[in-house]
Every structure is written in C-alpha cells, then in structure tokens.
Amino acid sequence: MNRLRVPQMTHAAQIEVLKTLVEPGKVLTDADSLNAYGKDWTKHFAPAPLAIVFPKTVEQVQAIVRWANEHRIGLVPSGGRTGLSAAAVAANGEVVVAFDYMNQILAFNEYDRTVVCQPGVVTKQLQLFAEDKGLYYPVDFASSGSSQIGGNIGTNAGGIKVIRYGMTRNWVAGLKVVTGTGELLELNRDLIKNATGYDLRQLFIGAEGTLGFVVEATMRLERAPKNLTAMVLGTPDFDSIMPVLHAFQNKLDLTAFEFFSDKALAKVLARGDVPPAFETDCPFYALLEFEAATEEVAEQALATFEHCVEQGWVLDGVMSQSEQQLQNLWKLREYISETISHWTPYKNDISVTVGKVPAFLHDIDAIVEKNYPDFEVIWFGHIGDGNLHLNILKPEDLSKDEFFAKCAVVNKWVFETVQKYNGSISAEHGVGMTKRDYLHYSRSEAEIACMKAIKAVFDPNGIMNPGKIFN
C-alpha cells in the first residue's frame, strides 16, 4: 500500500494561520521589521526571521507555541534586544515573539514589596515605579532604558550593583512561563519560603528562552538607598585595584566597585559630553559607590582613600557631592559600552572568583598583547564581582569577517585560561550563539548532557529559541 504524503503548508500559508491567533496587524513580515526585530546588539549574524508576532495575552503566547509545534517552526523571544551574545537573534527562518504589547505593571503588593510585571516592562519603568512607591529595584545597567524584564530574566542580567544586590535571579519572587509544549506553569507563587521540591523557577532564569517564555514575573523591591555617593580613584597599575577594593570593603558596605582602563576613559571623554573626574592621567581607574547615610560614613570613606594614597595604591581621586556629580562620575563608566560599539568590538565577558582576578588578568593580558599587538584593547568591568569585560576594537581597514576570524583564533587561549582558573566564559551576557561553541570551557560534558535533557522535558520539539546555548 502506498503511504499518502500529507501536503506541506507553504510558509505563507503558515503565517496566515499565525495571523488568526493574535489581534489584527500583530504579525509583521515587512523587511524593516524583520531586520529590526531579528537581531540584538550583536553584529555577528544577519537577521533572517520569517515573521514577527506580537502577542497581547498569555493565551495568545500559548497559541503561538502550539502553532510552532505543529509547523515545527522555531520561536525567538524578543524584549529590548540589548543582549550581547546573540540570544535574541533570529538568523534561521524563526518567528520572533516580541513582547512589546505585554508591557504593563499589573499589581503592587505593599506588604510583600513585590511588583507583578508583564515581560515587556522596561527595566527603567520598574525602577521608576519602585521609586514612586518609596522603594528600589536594584538591578541596573546602562541599557536599563531599553531592556525588558522578560529579557533580564532570560539572561539573569547582572550589571553595576551586583556586588551588593546580586543578579536578576535574586529579585524574582515568582514566574509564569509558557513552556515549549504550550503549557502554562506558575512557578513559586511569589513565596519567600517554599520547600516543596525542585525550584523550577530558577531553571527558567538564565535559560535564554530555550525552555519556555516568561509571560509574567513577580519582582521583589528593596529599601531605597540613602545618599548614594561615588568615588573615582586613579591607580598606578592594575595590581593596585584589588587592595583598594579590599580596603574599602573592610570599612564600608559598597553598592558598586567597577574599573576601567585609561583607553576606555579616553574613548568616553572624546565624546565631549562628560566632564573628566580629575586631571591626573592614570592607567586604571576604580569607581566605587556607597551609601553616605551619615557624616561618619563619608569620613570613613575619605580616611580609607587617604590610606590607599599612603600605600601607593591610589594616585588621585574625587568624591561626588551632589546627585549631578554622582551621575557624571557614573557616565564615565556607563557610557563605555555604547561608545566603543562604533568600533564593532569583539567582546569577552569573563569571570573568576575575586581572589584570582589579578593573576587571571595578567595571564589574559599577556595573551592579548602577544596576539593582538595591533588591535586596541579595552578593559573595563565589574571587578568587585570578578567580572571583566574585554573588548577588542576592529581596525578601520579590516573587514568584519576577517576581524572576527582573527579574534576567534585567540579565543581558544583566552578560554583555556578561563578554564584553568575555573572561571566562566560568560559572566553576565549569556551564551546565545556567540559563546555556544565554547560552552565546554565552563561546563562539563555531564553538565551539558543534563542541560540538554532538561530542555527535552520542557521543549521536546526543540522550537524554543533553537541554536542558543547549545545546538
């Protein structure tokens, strides 16, 4: 007997079905939309999605996932698309699920100090909402004006306050997710104490949308900090930064401890819209922040600064005296990433435990100096957490492909060093597609096998953000 072939629907016909699942006009296929929504801030991959769909309700997200299963079409979640690892890139005919219309704050629970957010709520929107309630949402980074809560959860976003407040994970009280089978799961129900077996909520945080999509998140808020005050300190060399961190941590509760090199600073100052901290040229700078809640705290900070100068660890420094000065000092650090994006940088986002940072940075720096003698190398990052951002800038006369190919060769040595120090090849930017092939430098074969098995449970047909984290 002849087996009859089921006629395959064309992509155009599949998209017509997709259109019936959402409100009119909420599926886009024009070239500009495909290009804009098919990529994040990475520049490695050309976007090539089939369509962009904008659900407005949880039920619509479920219907889209069921449709994708039926037609075996990959779905890529899209928030603010500020990611730096190509986790929100649709380069292979996927459908992008954009959460722009699920952007409401649904509830505030005063006693629990929690806010129920749709995934498309912008980070800044949550921060301002918290401020309005006299509270604080502490996860912060330069892209907070565009990044969305769903994306922050998908990447377990870190940023500039991790030393005090931790990563996004710490602030997720509960999650509603639609899994790769279209099932809606309510995870942890916003409880503080819940000892009932596996905490599935944690699996979805940092999963880059490979297990399911966050459709609602309850985020915790914190007491608002008092009189945040920043210092920028210039150091004579890299090795002096860690004793400075140590000295300040012994005396104060820091809310941030960042660093950047003179090259990073020069790029930001060349913009002309940020005043320099001071005149003395130094090879490295530390930016630290604390709550100057009382006079004594500010005095303690100044005494620690003097101690660091006496020890020869610090050459010069300033302390903010107003909100405006605080903002200006932060701009020196926060503007780096956006400013250097002009040079199509090759990015590394690596980490080790704090105690290993000096030896690790020297090893990496030696590799970089030997192998990129002609490239401009920009160091900065969240050094108080052991997280270093290493950006290699593309020379004008080199094509993007040639440049990335050269960097990929050096990657091997960089990541072998990361592995030697038991570090991470992606501290906070995620794996996405850019770090996928290097995952084994940070995760064992057995761990990767477990991760794949977990994916198979939640996404048996492999339609949720395919090709991200691993193949």
Ligand X SMILES: O=C(O)CC[C@@H](O)C(=O)O
Q: How far is the CB of 389 from ligand X (least distance, A)?
A: 4
Q: Which helix (H) or strand (E) holds 211?
A: none
Applying CB under 6 A, among 142, 219, 232, 433 the residue interacting with ligand X is 142
CB of 79 to ligand X, least distance (A): 16
Binding mask 285-314 for ligand X (x = CB under 6 A): ------------------------------
Place of tokens 């999963």: 207
Residues 35-94 that bind ligand X (CB under 6 A): 84
Q: Which contacts qualify for 317-326: CB closer than 8 Å, 24 or more apart?
A: 317/231, 317/232, 317/233, 317/234, 317/278, 318/231, 318/232, 318/277, 318/278, 319/229, 319/230, 319/231, 320/229, 320/230, 320/231, 325/230, 326/228, 326/229, 326/230, 326/289
Least distance from ligand X to the Cβ atom of residue 163, Å: 13
297/393 with CB nearer ligand X:
393
Smallest separation, CB 84 to ligand X (Å) = 6
Determine if 220 is a binding residue for ligand X (CB under 6 A): no
Please, which residues bridge with residue 382 across strands?
A: 387
- Dist CA 455 CA 92 (whole Å): 20
If the CB atoms of residues 248 and 330 are measured against ligand X, the closer one turns out to be: 330
- Minimal distance in Å, beta carbon 380 to ligand X? 7
Instruction: Write the interaction track for ligand X spanning residues 348-367; mark x where CB under 6 A is met and - where it is not.
Output: -x------------------
Q: How far is the CB of 143 from ligand X (least distance, A)?
A: 8
CA distance 385 to 354: 6
Cβ nearer to ligand X, comparing 273 with 279: 273
CB of 177 to ligand X, least distance (A): 25
Burial group, residue 318, by CB count within 10 angstroms (0-12, 13-18, 19+): middle
Nearer CB in complex with ligand X: 103/391: 391
CA distance 205 to 58: 18
Residue count, binding to ligand X (CB under 6 A): 9
Six-digit token string for 108: 């505030």
315 Cβ neighbours under 8 A, 6+ residues apart: 234, 235, 236, 280, 282, 309
CA 417 to chain centroid: 23
The single-letter code of the amino acid at 214 is V
**Which residue in the set 39, 161, 347, 468 belongs to the binding site for ligand X (CB under 6 A)?**
347
* Min separation Cβ 91 and ligand X, Å: 21
42 and 84 in contact (C-beta within 8 Å)?
A: yes
Cα gap 167→224, rounded to integer Å:
17
- Minimal distance, residue 391 CB to ligand X, in Å: 5
CA distance readout (Å), 224 to 127, 156, 251, 291: 11, 22, 21, 10
Distances (CA, A) of 26 to 22, 35, 59, 146, 466: 6, 16, 15, 21, 23
Closer by beta carbon to ligand X, 305 or else 375? 375
CB of 349 to ligand X, least distance (A): 6
State the nearest-atom distance from the C-beta of 240 to ligand X, in Å: 21
Nearer to ligand X, 100 or 349 (CB): 349
Q: Which residue is nearest to ligand X (CB)?
A: 337
Among 187, 184, 144, 225, smallest CA distance to 63 is for: 184
The nearer residue to ligand X, 235 or 391, going by C-beta atoms, is 391
Q: Kindly state the smallest distance separating residue 38's Cβ from ligand X, in Å.
A: 21
Within positions 390 to 419, which residues make up the interface with ligand X, using CB under 6 A?
391
Nearer to ligand X, 149 or 427 (CB): 427
Comparing CB distances to ligand X, the nearer of 427 and 451 is 427
β-strand partners of 378: 391
* Among the listed residues 145, 136, 97, the one whose alpha carbon sits nearest the alpha carbon of residue 115: 136
Residue closer to ligand X (CB basis): 319 or 336 = 336
Nearer to ligand X, 382 or 443 (CB): 382
Of the pair 141, 330, the CB lying nearest ligand X is at 141
From the list 123, 320, 337, 465, which residue makes contact with ligand X (rule: CB under 6 A)?
A: 337
Is 328 strand, coil or helix? helix
CA dihedral 101, 38, 392, 271 (to 10 degrees): -50
- Is the four-CA dihedral 458, 80, 155, 46 of positive or negative sign? positive
Rule CB under 6 A: choose which of 39, 161, 176, 389 binds ligand X.
389
Q: 262 exposed, middle or buried (CB, 10 Å; 0-12, 13-18, 19+)? A: middle
Q: Which residues bind ligand X (CB under 6 A)?
A: 84, 141-142, 336-337, 347, 349, 389, 391
